[in-house]
Structure 1
Amino acid sequence: MHKITWIGAFLLINNMVIAQEGKEVPQKVDRPKVENRVRRSVNVEPLSPKKLWELGRVTAEGLSKDGSQLIYGVSNYQFEENKSEKNLFVIPVNGGEAKQFTSEAGSESVLKVEGDDILYMFKGQIWKKNLKDGNSIQLTNYEDGLENVKISPDGKHILFSKSVLLKPYYSPNKYEDLPKSNVYIYDNLDYRHWDTWNDGKFNHPFVATYDNGKIGEAKDIMAAEPYYSPTMPFGGAEDLAWAPDGKSVLYVCKKKFGTEYAQSTNTDIYRYDLASGKTTNLTEGMNGYDNTPGFSPDGKMMTWLSMKTDGYEADKNDIYIQDPVSGQKLNLTAHWDGTVNSYTWSKDNKKIYFVAPTKGTVQIFELQIPANLKNMSLPNIKQISSGDFDITGIVGEVKDGLVVTSTKMTRATEVFMFNFKSKSLSPITKVNDQMYATVADTKVEARIIKATDGLDLFSWVIYPPDFDPTKKYPTLLFCQGGPQSATTQSYSFRWNFQLLASQGYIVIAPNRRGMPGWGVKWNEQISKDWGGQAIQDYLSAIDDIAKESYVDKDRLGAVGASYGGYSVFQLAGVHEGRFKSFISHCGLFDMKSWYGTTEELFFANHDLGGPYWDKANEKTYTEFNPSNHVEKWDTPILIFQGGKDYRVPIGQGLEAFQAAQLRGVKSRLVYLPDENHWVLSGQSAQVWQREFFGWLDETLKK
């Protein structure tokens, strides 16, 4: 549910619905064809859960200084050991053979490219290896290891993070004579994050001198402040940055403590001066998330991402620019009706490229940097990529375009060249091509209907391999989490649309209210209305596709996780016989008990309106509370619940299962004691898939 947080100009959606025999019918949207990279093999099979986890997981790690070589990582899951092995590879950007760069047992990630030398992290230490020749050399041997490392531009200092014990929340730290005790003691909130109890340790940034692997005495630049940087629970190296002159560092921090911390999203960007030790708040007065600080290539301009509203984690994300000398700043995307995922500067300092969701996909946009910030002129923003794919990140700019990572619903992440002139993607890596050559294709189509309030409602529809419109298929409504997360052309290793369709199901995935990519108003509409228009959007989508002759109306199911799991619980009480099966993963069942046990209260305060004892929020805790509709539950339901999920704690799944059992409803609980809001263990993920599809076999395939 945390925003962790992936069609634009090419999707020429017109707001008129095609008329046929006096009735409104869905638009079958004509979309540009994207050439498949792999020809279909003669011997193909539907995608299976095991084959899904046998795919290599590709990460773009960086480019050589001249932009001619891409360094990328590939993680491969090993079933027997129940772990992944990641190695680095190098490949020419303009085409050529990939060569393995590292082969040590473990996981490596690129830290910095210095000419032909690659600095990379391995087992918490910095290593070096030459692109052309040479052996791996371990440069550092820092006690306890290094995390979130950034080396200064001049190479003379190092910035990294480590945890510091500041509060005796854990009994062995409070009572040293009881070292074998296992007790936590709290006087305020912020007592746990995501899947971890607060043991009194706080992430802090440290700086030290650095000389080719030799690290001097490290200084905690936040001293004894009980705050987190990088931020919890998902902050990383993007929360730390060096100023271009190497004389100061920037760090992101929410300088609030305890109960106040749990109710706020107000992070700021701070500058710490190495010489004076002085800390300055660069975003004071900006009350939402401020994050991802960076600088133009020439070092003259600072940029960062910012949200406006304190407590609203899914607020519009804007790009800010500031002249560090004059202090003049400008919101570059204030006038644009969208939200930014990530950004990067052009090499000539004249543009910023950014990635953002738009109408069911995630695409590249560009904006021109204003010549003068003082006149407050807002730049023209232009979408430059389009197609049935997601651009998941920009690696860097090269001579003819951008090196990017991209996915489709039927293809996992690979690295591509986006050509500025042709506006097309061409593959650089082809890690999974051979595997996909053995996988049966699943057709994906866009579909637009009218929602109950008259607005266009877009959905993705994924069809089984060898789809035959003369047959009838069981059909699944996919309910997205978030709730302000996009359903785009992303590729999941659990909620995988290709995998769902490959088991013989049609899947419909609506871009219901609350999803980015359809304007700020559409995105905001779900807040304080969880059980309202968004649920109606789901019902509109499934009712419409159920009119198709190839959909078996007696075999409809609804599945989802997080807010999607909430949606399943809510639908179970209001669906009026539409569905024959439900699956909810880590869903919110009782809004009162959820408000009383979730950890980031700013989310609950904004999206639900606040606590249940405030009468102004009565509708949230009555009409929009799934537990209040249990008397209408009469449909089989499968419930997954993670034991270490503190965002949607264990009680939610247990309460729902117990209610279903006592109601006499066919139900099953799959409890994953070592998993959080997700399923991260490979073997547990295989159990999850088997139970998921086994349940559908029991309830929909008959």
Structure 2
Amino acid sequence: MAIRSMKFTPEVLLGAPRRSSAVPNAAGTLAVYTQTSYSFESHSKTNEIRVIEIQSGRSALITNDPGASNPQWLGADDQLVWLKTKTNGNTSFIVGDARQVDNTYTAGTVPGPVSDLKVTVIEPGKIGFAVSGKANQDGSLYNPQDAKKSHTTGRLYTSLFVRHWDSYVEPQKNSIFYGILEQTPLSPARRLAGKYSVSGLTNLISVSGLTGVESPIPPFGGTSDFDISPSAIVFIGKDPGLNPATHTACSCYYAPMFSWTSMSVSDIKTCKVTGLQGAMSSPVLSSDGSSIALLAMQKDGYESDKNRILYVPNPWNGDMIEVFESNDGKGLWDLSPSAISFAHDDKSLLVQTEEIGRGVLYQLPLQDIRKAKPDALKRLTRSGYVNDVFPAAAGSSSLLISSSSLVDNSVWSIIDPASPEAVQVVSSSGRGGSAFGLSPTQVDEIWFHGAENHPVHAWVVKPSDFKPGEKYPLAYLIHGGPQGAWNDQWSTRWNPAVFAEQGYVVITPNPTGSTGYGQPFTDGITGQWGGRPYEDLVKGFEYIEQNLAYVDTTRAVALGASYGGYMMNWIQGHPLGRKFKALVTHDGVFSMTSQLASEEQYFPLHDLQGPIWKKPENWAKWDPSRFTADWQTPHLIIHNELDYRLTIAEGLAAFNVLQMRGIDSAFLTFPDENHWVLNPENSLMWHKTVLNWINKYTGLPAVSDEPDLSAMNTLAL
């Protein structure tokens, strides 16, 4: 699919098709994916399941049913199964042929909403599957359409959470359900293959007798929280004996699937490692289900601790190997992997990690894994950000990789680990950026010395019509987290290229606390929210002033969300704030005390080194509201009503101060958005409001209030 556009505007960013990862069939000839897009002309969204031919790059539509999702391959042929949400809340399993798009049928329907479909071949014609869904207290699948309506709106809580992310906590909990898709022969005598039918659903957590365990882990858990094989299911869940609002500790559970029709409570195996008491993620099974690999953190209550790779060669004896273990407990590898999977032959692991502003893929042999050192890792990618990886075909060592970059929203490529430098691009949604009017030549990177003379990395994104010798205003973008990073990665919420195309040189620093530069650098923000990171940003601005002649720092603006929003409020009350013509805070912290109204309390407890009654000096020291007497710079505040991580009172308080001090300011809110702005129409208003605000103070033209439909991309199938 080609995308053509003259200029990269917010409309183009938000209207461009968004593709999922590509999942290849067993033969490696086709790959299935989902694609969504939004039209500002018709104010409507399209949702598609599509298949691409690997060799030709031709794409075909399988279905554009708005309720269709989670396509998966069925065995070694070209049949697919996907989920379809029905108006009554039920979910149907639809089976179709990838090469005969009209040949589909319903294999069965389950009585409620489910998602996160995974499948595994038990034997020819018999497919095991697992899905996630909300469970009633008796373990049955919850359907909100069938729920009895209460005569009161009151909710009574006796423990945390009260609310999480953007919703109040209900009695129903996430659970994993399993079942069988079985193919019945058309003729018993001739053994002709017939249609698949769904056996029904069994609540894995309920039948395993795991009281209080919830998986996938809310609010963002999904397919990455469990895995399935012909002989087992593995999943993670928070420790049910600890308060989830103040603890991150998890356990890993191994459920042998002897028959896929029944299970004994005694069958479940709980895997937990002494010394690694924190969060777990990315549990995966070897192809036969006999081994587990997963990621685990050392510290309970620290969501950004370093992930350690765990290998469990035999779940029955509980032998869990921490890869790269060291005597001092720090681990020999400085980076924190984000996802792992087994290679096609189960002889190595594929490891994804952030590294110096990129999402890198490594391969790690499992031979002599107890003695492995980081130099055993083989780097397979050099640029962009890897989102997902699959064997390119059954039994093949080659890999189909889904990735993105700062100028391309979706790239699928094939590499052979034996010679990873030879990359075969299967499909580039943005055609290397040219479909958006962008180019990799716009992207550069710099290093400067920050706090304590530590090297700090930053991306530089220039306008596509950049002319050497001219000067451009600066847009200084500060990331959230704070344990996060700006990477060579596409984003539809904070996309540096959108700002660059307005005429800015965009610089995105990764100061103390950023991920991908070693765990000590990430940990360096603990107890230092307005300390080392602020000093890094000051020194970064000074570096830009002194070394980048094409940047006009007298026409600079700064913007940030979440922790980046905190930093905008902190900058506003400190000398760096006088360097900027305007500031933008999105869902940021105004008062540290108000973080007690947040949901995940382990976050401030860790970063501020204790609760407010034990460490009041830390909570007070880094409180932006203490410095409001020095606020002077024009400031746009954005805060959403469904943001329960940082409540809307934070934004209102900041705006009230600005208004009472007579500082040019504005307040934008969305009653139906959470910490993010996800509705395309709302996001377009967000972009236009933000761009018009900063453009006003840097002398750049205003953005039209009407969508620029002439600049929208056109599609050519």
What's the TM-score once normalised by structure 2's chain length? 0.85
2:461 is matched with: 462
2:398 is matched with: 401
Question: 1:654 Cα shift?
Answer: 0.9
- Matched residue SS, 1:515: coil
CA contact (8 A) 1:60 1:405 kept: yes
State the one-letter code of the partner of 1:605. Answer: L
State the one-letter code of the partner of 1:384. Answer: R
Provide the C-alpha distance between the structure 1 equivalents of 2:288 and 2:153, rounded to a whole number of angstroms: 52
| Correspondence 1:469-508 to 2 at 5 A | 469-508=468-507
1:390 is matched with: 385
Provide the C-alpha distance between the structure 2 equivalents of 1:243 and 1:305, rounded to a whole number of angstroms: 19
State the one-letter code of the partner of 1:683. Answer: E
Q: Is 1:180 aligned with 2:178?
A: no
CA contact (8 A) 1:82 1:682 kept: no
Question: 1:365 Cα shift?
Answer: 1.0
2:359 is matched with: 362
Provide the C-alpha distance between the structure 2 equivalents of 1:87 and 1:599, rounded to a whole number of angstroms: 35
1:204 is matched with: 175
1:280 is matched with: 269
Query: Is the alpha carbon distance of 1:411 and 1:347 closer, same or farther for their aligned partners in structure 2, counting shifts above 3 Å?
Result: same
Question: 1:298 Cα shift?
Answer: 4.2
CA contact (8 A) 1:125 1:146 kept: no
2:84 is matched with: 122
- Within the candidate set 619, 633, 636, 1:635 is matched to 633
Q: Is 1:296 aligned with 2:286?
A: yes
Provide the C-alpha distance between the structure 2 equivalents of 1:98 and 1:117, rounded to a whole number of angstroms: 16
1:650 is matched with: 648
Per-residue CA distance 1:378-409 (angstroms, 9 max, x = gap): 56433424544222221334546321111111
CA contact (8 A) 1:56 1:432 kept: no
1:108 is matched with: 69
- Matched residue SS, 2:117: strand
CA contact (8 A) 2:484 2:515 kept: yes
Provide the C-alpha distance between the structure 2 equivalents of 1:489 and 1:152, rounded to a whole number of angstroms: 34
Query: Is the alpha carbon distance of 1:233 and 1:583 closer, same or farther for their aligned partners in structure 2, counting shifts above 3 Å?
Result: same
- Within the candidate set 259, 271, 283, 2:254 is matched to 271
- Within the candidate set 220, 225, 230, 1:234 is matched to 220
Q: Is 1:260 aligned with 2:243?
A: yes
State the one-letter code of the partner of 2:523. Answer: E
Query: Is the alpha carbon distance of 1:431 and 1:443 closer, same or farther for their aligned partners in structure 2, counting shifts above 3 Å?
Result: closer
Query: Is the alpha carbon distance of 1:276 and 1:179 closer, same or farther for their aligned partners in structure 2, counting shifts above 3 Å?
Result: closer
CA contact (8 A) 1:640 1:670 kept: yes
CA contact (8 A) 2:407 2:432 kept: no
| Correspondence 1:342-353 to 2 at 5 A | 342-353=339-350
Per-residue CA distance 1:520-573 (angstroms, 9 max, x = gap): 111111122111111111111122112333222321111010111111111111
Q: Is 1:323 aligned with 2:313?
A: yes
Question: 1:110 Cα shift?
Answer: 1.4
Query: Is the alpha carbon distance of 1:514 and 1:178 closer, same or farther for their aligned partners in structure 2, counting shifts above 3 Å?
Result: closer
Provide the C-alpha distance between the structure 1 equivalents of 2:120 and 2:392, rounded to a whole number of angstroms: 22
Moved more, 96-105 or 307-316: 96-105
Provide the C-alpha distance between the structure 2 equivalents of 1:149 and 1:407, rounded to a whole number of angstroms: 24
- Matched residue SS, 1:353: strand
State the one-letter code of the partner of 1:525. Answer: G
1:598 is matched with: 598
Per-residue CA distance 1:589-647 (angstroms, 9 max, x = gap): 100112x2000011111112122222x351x3233111111111000010110110111
1:691 is matched with: 689
Gaps of 5+ in 2: 86-90, 139-143, 183-195, 257-261, 325-330, 701-717
Moved more, 115-124 or 48-57: 115-124
State the one-letter code of the partner of 1:403. Answer: L
Moved more, 316-325 or 654-663: 316-325
Per-residue CA distance 1:299-354 (angstroms, 9 max, x = gap): 44211111111011011112211122443221224421101111222212221111
Moved more, 604-613 or 522-531: 604-613
- Matched residue SS, 2:377: strand
Provide the C-alpha distance between the structure 2 equivalents of 1:88 and 1:45, rounded to a whole number of angstroms: 28
Query: Is the alpha carbon distance of 1:452 and 1:179 closer, same or farther for their aligned partners in structure 2, counting shifts above 3 Å?
Result: closer
Query: Is the alpha carbon distance of 1:437 and 1:232 closer, same or farther for their aligned partners in structure 2, counting shifts above 3 Å?
Result: closer
Query: Is the alpha carbon distance of 1:677 and 1:424 closer, same or farther for their aligned partners in structure 2, counting shifts above 3 Å?
Result: farther
State the one-letter code of the partner of 2:571. Answer: L
State the one-letter code of the partner of 2:303. Answer: E
- Matched residue SS, 1:140: strand
1:62 is matched with: 23
Root-mean-square deviation over aligned CA pairs: 2.7
State the one-letter code of the partner of 2:269. Answer: T
Question: 1:289 Cα shift?
Answer: 1.2
State the one-letter code of the partner of 1:362. Answer: G
Question: 1:94 Cα shift?
Answer: 3.4
Provide the C-alpha distance between the structure 2 equivalents of 1:434 and 1:525, rounded to a whole number of angstroms: 36
Identity of aligned residues (%): 25
Question: 1:203 Cα shift?
Answer: 1.4
Provide the C-alpha distance between the structure 2 equivalents of 1:340 and 1:217, rounded to a whole number of angstroms: 34
State the one-letter code of the partner of 2:637. Answer: I
Q: Is 1:218 aligned with 2:218?
A: no
State the one-letter code of the partner of 1:332. Answer: V
CA contact (8 A) 1:343 1:353 kept: yes
| Correspondence 1:306-317 to 2 at 5 A | 306-317=296-307
Question: 1:585 Cα shift?
Answer: 0.5
Per-residue CA distance 1:406-429 (angstroms, 9 max, x = gap): 111111122122344251433212
| Correspondence 1:445-456 to 2 at 5 A | 445-456=444-455
CA contact (8 A) 2:273 2:320 kept: no
| Correspondence 1:512-531 to 2 at 5 A | 512-531=511-530
Moved more, 623-632 or 78-87: 78-87
Provide the C-alpha distance between the structure 1 equivalents of 2:562 and 2:81, rounded to a whole number of angstroms: 39
2:192 is matched with: none
CA contact (8 A) 2:2 2:429 kept: no
| Correspondence 1:151-190 to 2 at 5 A | 151=119, 153-154=121-122, 155=126, 157-166=128-137, 179-190=150-161
- Within the candidate set 306, 323, 330, 1:332 is matched to 323
Provide the C-alpha distance between the structure 2 equivalents of 1:302 and 1:387, rounded to a whole number of angstroms: 28
Question: 1:479 Cα shift?
Answer: 0.3
Provide the C-alpha distance between the structure 2 equivalents of 1:555 and 1:379, rounded to a whole number of angstroms: 45
Per-residue CA distance 1:266-299 (angstroms, 9 max, x = gap): 1111234543222331125441112222122244
Per-residue CA distance 1:92-113 (angstroms, 9 max, x = gap): 3234422222233444321343
Provide the C-alpha distance between the structure 2 equivalents of 1:392 and 1:316, rounded to a whole number of angstroms: 19
Per-residue CA distance 1:427-465 (angstroms, 9 max, x = gap): 212333399446254711111122231121111111112
Gaps of 5+ in 1: 1-36, 168-172
1:75 is matched with: 36
